[in-house]
Structures are given as C-alpha cells and as structure tokens.
Amino acid sequence: MSSLPYTETWLVGPQQTNFYTRLYLASPAKAVIVFLHGFAEHVGRYTHFHPKLAERGITVFTFDQRGFGNTGLNVEKRSKGSQYGKTGWTDQMADIDWAITHASKEFPGLPVFLMGQSMVRACYCIKKPSLNECM
C-alpha cells in the first residue's frame, strides 16, 4: 500500500497527449477541484496543499500541463513530440476543457470547480463566462 496521499496516473487527453495526473481523493467528497499549476511549474509544487483539501472533503484532480512537469519531461511516458515548454493557448484551453470533463464524469453529482495558480486559469474563466465555478 502506498503512503502517498495521492494516486498518480497517465491519462490520454486532447491530441492524444499523455498527461501525468494526480488524484487526491476525499472520503466522503463534497466537491471536486480541478487544479492548474502555475506557468513553468508542476503538480509536485502543491503536494503540501492538496492533501489538506482532501482532508476537508474536497477531491483534487490535477495534472502536469502540456509542456511542463512529467507531461513534458518524462522521457519514458510523455507523448511523442512533447518537450519542456512546448504549449500554446489553444491547446491549453482544450486541455482544461478535457480535465473538467474528466472530473465531471469521474465524480457525477459532485460540483466541479476550477482553481489554480495561473494566468491560464484566469484566461479560461474569461473565455467561458458561463462557468461560474472558477476560483
């Protein structure tokens, strides 16, 4: 049994990109947060914070964004053509859509919120004015 407070998985997202993901599972869960790390960061920077949310009943689904962290750097598991810093706004917006959809399907009936330390998150919330669950 793992002593880590999360489960890590590689999931296929937009454009057949392999994304490194982490899930901090709350039990019971009241809500789900899709968390976006900051530009040029990775999900490992938040290992101290995400378990605190899970302890308080909020499941956290997070992923190393396209071009960053393991998604961009893991030589064995990253997608062909992936490399550090290789990303773009259009791709990032599609990746966020994918992550929100994934979390919604995995946890039906729970409210899903978008949270993050990133200008990308702010731009996504501006692009999707009907999405009022941005933090």
Q: What is the mean pLDDT of each run of 10 residues along the chain (135 residues)?
A: 83 95 97 90 92 97 93 89 79 91 96 82 64 52
Judge whether 104 lies within some domain: yes
The β-bridge relationship of strands 18-24 and 7-12 is antiparallel
> How many independent structural domains does the chain possess?
1
Residue 74 belongs to a domain: yes
pTM summary value? 0.87
Domain that holds residue 109: 7-127
What CA–CA distance (Å, rounded) separates 69 from 42?
Answer: 5
Give the number of other CB atoms < 10 A from CB of residue 107.
Answer: 18
